[in-house]
Amino acid sequence: MKNRVLLVSGGSRGIGAATARLAAEAGWSVCISYHRQEAQARAVVEEIESIGGRALALKADVGREADVLDLFEQLDQAFGTLSGLVNNAGILEPQMRVEGMQAARLARVFNVNVLGSFLCAREAVRRMSTRHGGQGGAIVNLSSMAARLGSPNEYVDYAAAKGAIDSFTIGLSKEVAAEGIRVNAVRPGLIHTDIHASGGEPGRIERLKGSVPMGRGGRAEEVARAILWLLSDEASYTTGSFIDVSGGR
C-alpha cells in the first residue's frame, strides 16, 4: 500500500480511527474527516506521525455537499491522487420505537449514514475511475448487522439506513467494476465503541453478548482488519461483497 492515499470518513474514534492506524502501518497516507471530535482526530494524526506515517485531519459534515466538496479538494491539494475510501461516518439517535420517531430524527440519521456515503463515494469515483482518467481504487462502506437484524425497539431507522448502504454497495460495485474500482462493505456486529453511549445505553454489549455465538463483543481493530483486506490488492477479485464481523450473530 506504499504511497497510496486513503480517506476515512468519521476517523476520529472507534472503527474509523482503528482503520486509519492500521492503514498507516501498511503504508497508506491517511486523511481522516471529523465533525465535532477535533481533539480525538488530532490525536490519531499525531499517533500515525509518531510511527513515521503521513496523516491529515479535516473537519467536514459529510451530510452537507459543500463540506464534502471542500474535504476532497483539500485532500487533493495535500496528498494528491486518491486510491481508497472508507465510508465510515455514521450516527445513532437514542433508542426509540418507530412510533415515537420524528421526521427531524429520521432526516439526521439518513443524512449522515446514507447521503454522506453517496456524496463521498461520488467524489471518490470522479477521482479514481478510469472513465475519468483515474487509476482505479477501492471503496469500503460501513454497513451493520442491524441491516439484517432490524434493531427492533431500538434503532429501526439506523438499521434501514444501513440496509440502504447494502443496496448502494451492490449497485455501485456493478456500475464501476469495469472502471478499476472495487466496492465492498463490512457489517460490524456488537463492537466496543462509543456509538452505544450515543444511543443512550453504554452497556448495551454486556446486555446483548449472550446473543453472540462467540459470547463477546468485538474490537474496533477486528473490524479494521477486514476493511484493510478489502482495500488491499489481496482482494483484487472481490467486489460487491460483504464481510460480517459479528462473532457469528
Q: Which residues are catalytic?
A: 158
206: three-class secondary structure by DSSP: helix
Alpha carbon distance 77, 108 (integer Å)? 30
**Counting beta carbons within 10 angstroms of the beta carbon of residue 132, is it exposed (0 to 12), middle (13 to 18) or buried (19 or more)?**
exposed
Query: What DSSP character marks residue 74?
Result: H
Do 55 and 20 form a contact (C-beta atoms < 8 A)?
yes
Alpha carbon distance 58, 33 (integer Å)? 5
Do 62 and 31 form a contact (C-beta atoms < 8 A)?
no
Do 183 and 216 form a contact (C-beta atoms < 8 A)?
no
Record the cell numbers describing residue 166, joined without a space.
447494502
> Side chain identity at 111, as an amino acid letter?
N
Alpha carbon distance 51, 49 (integer Å)? 5
CB atoms within 10 A of CB 137: 26
Q: Which residues, including other chains, have CB under 8 Å from residue 104's CB and lie 6 or more apart?
A: none
Record the cell numbers describing residue 20, joined without a space.
486509519
Do 33 and 10 form a contact (C-beta atoms < 8 A)?
yes
